[in-house]
Amino acid sequence: MASTLADINSQIKKHDEQIAQLRKQAEELRNQERAGVVEELRKKIAEYGLTAADLKLTSRSSRRAAPAVAAKSAAKYRSPTGETWSGGRGRKPRWITEALAAGKSLSDFEIR
């Protein structure tokens, strides 16, 4: 059976239309089923007195929650002007580097 390109394109278009109709039907059925599932879940939640925490739906466990921020360390050093520094990782504050360059030591700034 010899088919022309036009015949094949026509068949493809017909099948694409059928696929679109089937996808629409599947989506409608899914939405109907989803409504039933949601109602069933609401009944079970009420029946058993479940909370969002029981279902691990709290913002703490949510994947969309912002990443936890590390707790700020307590200040260990204080400048004469009242600026503080915890002595943790990263760059030293300018007031520390300038004081160290001037011959002072970290112990001069320790908070006691």
Give me the residue label for tokens 């929650």: 65
19-37 tens-digit pLDDT = 999 999 999 999 989 988 9
Q: How far apart are the C-alpha atoms of 81 and 101, rounded to whole Å? A: 18
Q: Quick check: 85 pLDDT over 60?
A: yes
Instruction: For the chain, give every domain's residue range.
Output: 1-66, 77-109
Q: Quick check: 4 pLDDT over 80?
A: yes
User: How large is the average pLDDT for residues 88-96?
Assistant: 87
Averaged pLDDT score across all residues of the chain:
86
Tell me which residue of 55, 56, 102 sits closest to 79, measured CA to CA: 102
Query: What is the maximal distance between C-alpha atoms in the chain?
Result: 96
Quote the pTM value. 0.37
User: How large is the average pLDDT for residues 29-54?
Assistant: 89
Q: Quick check: 90 pLDDT over 50?
A: yes
CB 52 within 8 A of CB 58: yes
